[in-house]
Amino acid sequence: MSNSKKRILITDDARFTRNMLKKIIDKTDFTEVIGEAANGNEAIALYKQLKPDLVTMDLVMPEKGGIETIEEIIRFDRSALIVVVSALGQEALVLEAAKKGAKDFIQKPFKNEQVIDVLQRILLKKK
């Protein structure tokens, strides 16, 4: 396989969550983590700089929350692929994120297979 891995930016204020996602993503043969952001402002700056293929987005973060961040990234790049990673009990936020342009949702605490399924579905267009 050539080095055509899909490039992913992880956005979450919890280092633990970023590390968990990174471990799962790095295990696949079709994705790699190219950046990590701890808040929305970092995510927007890194998105513009790195132009990742996909962004995982926590919704509740300091400085700038996920909804606003999704809006700004989509304004910058209408074709941005954003997957929300959020806890139970945030259904209203998740629906809002979907309206703003998020493509899918991974629920915390997440399982490896769940993360990989979503990445395959979105990045490799597998059903």
pLDDT digit string, tens, across residues 17-36: 999 999 999 999 999 999 99
pLDDT at res. 4: 87
The CA distances from residue 103 to 60, 83, 90, 119, 123, in Å, are: 18, 6, 16, 11, 11
Split at pLDDT 50, 70, 90, the class of 41 is very high
Confidence of residue 127 (pLDDT cuts 50, 70, 90): low
Average pLDDT value over all residues in the chain: 94
pLDDT for 94 beyond 60:
yes
Q: pTM for the whole thing?
A: 0.94
pLDDT tens for 43-93 read: 999 999 999 999 999 999 999 999 999 999 999 999 999 999 998 788 899
User: Has residue 1 got a pLDDT over 60?
Assistant: no
The domains located in the chain, with CATH, are 6-123 (3.40.50.2300)
pLDDT at res. 38? 98
- Burial (CB < 10 A; 0-12, 13-18, 19+), residue 96, is middle
